[in-house]
Amino acid sequence: MYNETKKAVKPMQIQTEQPKNGADEHILVCLSSSPSNARIIHTAAKMAKVLHAKFTAIYVQTDSVESEKNRLRLEQNIQLAQGLGAEIIMTHGEDVPLQISEYVRLSDVTKIVIGQSSARRRGLFGKPTLTEKLISVAPNVDIHIIPDALNYVRPHRRRLLFGAETPSLRDIGVTVLSLAVCTAIGFLFDHLDFPDTNIVTVYILGVLMVSVLTKGYLCSMAGSLLSVVLFGFFLTEPQLSFKTYAVGYPVTFAVMLVASVLTGTLASKLKDHARLSARSAFRTQVLFDTDRLLQKAKSNDDILSVTCMQLSRLLDRSIVAYTKSENGMSTGRLFAEKKYTYSENLLNAAEQKAAEWAFQNGRRTGATTAQFGKSECLYLAIRAGSRVYGVIGIPMRPEKPDSFENSIVLSVVNECALAMDNTHNAAEKERAADLAKSEQLRADLLRSISHDLRTPLCSISGNADTLLHNGNCLDETTKQQIYKDIYDDSEWLIDVVENLLYVTRLNDGRLKLELTNQLVDEVISEAVSHLKQKSVGHTVTVKCDDLILARMDAQLIVQVIVNLIDNALKYTEQGSEICVSAEKQGKYAVIRVADNGSGIPDDMKSHIFEMFYTGKSTVADSRRSFGIGLTLCKSIVELHGGTLTLRDNVPCGCVFTFTLPLSEVTLNE
């Protein structure tokens, strides 16, 4: 074996060009149905492994008709390339070298590995071979030519005219019927004394119809020849004879034959191009629809459903899918756009075992592979990197997908893996953000506790030390003031600890409501009594409608009202008025805590219910607020199905309003 390599550098560039890093190399191997193409693929794979290069395999589909044997061999070569780590690229076009060179240009390919066929240029004006064309259209790429004809004897195969396949009975019937109709029209034109050119045009139209309505080239060629024979035998003088009196008829026959052949050939080529274009458009549409639907999918189940339904639509068969679960692989599910009779055995134990192997190893298995080759399905792992998110099973009945369909399937499965990987990364990112937020809250809480509890604790400790060591030297008035300071600091600490406990229970989800029917005025009276000592110097009034019965956890609502009143006491001057009111509005009890203090600035209102937000206001007793009281109030009210809002009081101050659902009481006499 030898390598015939065309260097991509000019002599003057050899000294200045730096050797490329292996990570920048991109090796492209050309796929074909040749028996020795497998050896070429192995050679390219070894080269890619040694150079640590990106590995791609390309197949250019043309209009030429492949035999069933060659088609199966091509599919095996495609699977081999994919198994060796190559990315499969499928394209189509008549100019194979041009298609390859375009991909090389767009994908920065550095080396091409191709087989040298046994075809040779014949004569001076012979047609250049594929390899020669590729060298001319890709002058800046290293081309490694591996001879694939040394051990390959081309099998003797019967070839029909222009490589066309054997026509079907339908095609033969269409050809015969079309020519018969043309002949009948020719007799009519001859009877009406139309010129012979009109009759020739009718036969050319008939050949064109045959080309459009039949497959392959053979019927078009046969129609072209038969049209000349029929015209010469039935419609030239003397009729029913191939003799002719006119001197120019042989020329007419020749022109008619050439025109018919060209017309039929062009029509057949246009039909093949239209078929390839339609398949390409269908593939593009399926991939576009799949990408659009996957972008809308919110979970892995949605992504899997979209993928399997698109594959069922593409292949016209049921699709089996398995996803990753906490215990490994989940139970299989069947997706189908319509009901298929051969889908009954796709979820049996043997099929699940094959799918389990694909899930554990992250590789394809099942039908057409060495592992579990007797399975009904070919199983493809939904894999992104080292993570496997599931397995998709493609049934091989009623017929195996061809190489064109296989390329679409791989593209769709890769899109599915990418979408699931994006969903996984988004979930990980969200969990990391939640963890960071929790850590930040915990850090803020610890910082607040360590800083803000120090002042009252130091005050309590200092006052207690004074009473302990110098109590006999103090007069009664001073002692009473010290006692009052210790009591106030202790009450403040108790309130803070209770709020912290409530917040902790809320965050852990352990705060359970014990809902009962309570009179609102009694709950407000109890909350006000808790703050009787603190409210000295302020005027606290209560205005409540009679017999307002609300559904609530009384202890928690008392804590809400205590926090709101205490907040007003802290941030208003001595002598301020605080009014607690309650009334009915529809199905809710509306409770308000209003003050006539200096109010809350507009820039603080949007943050007032945030955790640990204390703003810039100065607390009357010089103790900083933790910034958790209003957050706790809002959470408790929302647990009851109500809302907590803030608005300005007119002419000054602010009003906190929250709602509670009224109780439905049935009186039994």
Q: What is the domain range of residue 210?
A: 163-274
- Please report, for the domain that includes residue 126, its CATH number: 3.40.50.620
The residue out of 121, 147, 173 marking a domain boundary is 147
The residue out of 230, 259, 274 marking a domain boundary is 274
* 657 in the same domain as 544: yes
Phi and psi for 266 in degrees, rounded to 5? -65, -40
Predicted pLDDT at 20: 42
Predicted pLDDT at 157: 41
* 462 in the same domain as 388: no
- Please count the CA atoms within 13 angstroms of the CA of 236 that sit on its side-chain side: 21
* 324 in the same domain as 242: no
- Please count the CA atoms within 13 angstroms of the CA of 478 that sit on its side-chain side: 10
Residue with tokens 């030239």: 236
448 domain-assigned? no
155 domain-assigned? no
Alpha-carbon gap, residue 428 to 435, rounded angstroms: 10
User: pTM for this one?
Assistant: 0.46
Predicted pLDDT at 253: 63
**Secondary structure (DSSP) of 379-438:** EEEEEETTEEEEEEEEE--SS---HHHHHHHHHHHHHHHHHHHHHHHHHHHHHHHHHHHH
385, 388, 383: which is closest to 413 by C-alpha?
Answer: 383
Residue with tokens 């005050």: 459
For the chain of 669 residues, list the mean pLDDT of each consecutive stretch of 10: 38 36 74 85 88 87 72 84 84 76 80 71 56 75 71 44 64 86 86 81 78 71 76 75 61 65 68 70 75 84 87 84 84 78 75 89 85 86 87 83 77 87 87 80 66 74 86 84 84 74 67 85 89 81 88 88 86 88 92 89 79 53 56 85 90 92 63
- Find out whether 568 and 501 touch, Cβ atoms under 8 Å: no
* 325 in the same domain as 270: no
Residue 125 CA: distances (Å) to CA of 98, 122, 132, 427, 515: 21, 7, 14, 65, 98
Number of domains in the chain: 5
- Find out whether 359 and 327 touch, Cβ atoms under 8 Å: no
Q: Which amino acid belongs to residue 392?
A: I
635 domain-assigned? yes
- Please report, for the domain that includes residue 641, its CATH number: 3.30.565.10
* 175 in the same domain as 119: no
Write the secondary structure of 313-349 as one string of H (helix), E (strand) and C (coil). Answer: HHHCCCEEEEEEECCEECCCEEECCCCCHHHCCCCCH
Cα 276 from chain centroid? Answer: 28
Strands (E), 2-110: 4-6, 26-30, 54-61, 87-92
**Secondary structure (DSSP) of 566-577:** HHHHHHS-TT-E
Predicted pLDDT at 17: 36
Residue 643 CA: distances (Å) to CA of 634, 657, 662: 7, 8, 14
Cα 547 from chain centroid? Answer: 58
Alpha-carbon gap, residue 412 to 308, rounded angstroms: 9
Predicted pLDDT at 201: 80
Burial pattern 257-278, b for ≥16 Cβ within 10 A else e, equals bebbbebbbebbeebbeeebee
Q: Is 294 helix (H, G, I), strand (E, B) or coil?
A: helix
* 206 in the same domain as 140: no
* 353 in the same domain as 309: yes
668 domain-assigned? no
- Report the DSSP beta bridge partners of residue 319: 335
* 255 in the same domain as 187: yes
* Rg from Cα positions in the chain: 44
Q: Is 129 helix (H, G, I), strand (E, B) or coil?
A: coil
Cis preceding-peptide flag for 401 (omega within 30 of 0): no
Predicted pLDDT at 488: 77
The residue out of 399, 415, 431 marking a domain boundary is 415
344 domain-assigned? yes
* 135 in the same domain as 173: no
Alpha-carbon gap, residue 560 to 509, rounded angstroms: 18
- Find out whether 225 and 254 touch, Cβ atoms under 8 Å: no
Q: Is 655 helix (H, G, I), strand (E, B) or coil?
A: strand
* 474 in the same domain as 356: no
Alpha-carbon gap, residue 140 to 150, rounded angstroms: 28
573 domain-assigned? yes
* 136 in the same domain as 65: yes
Predicted pLDDT at 666: 45
- Please report, for the domain that includes residue 396, its CATH number: 3.30.450.40
432 domain-assigned? no
* 10 in the same domain as 78: yes
404 domain-assigned? yes
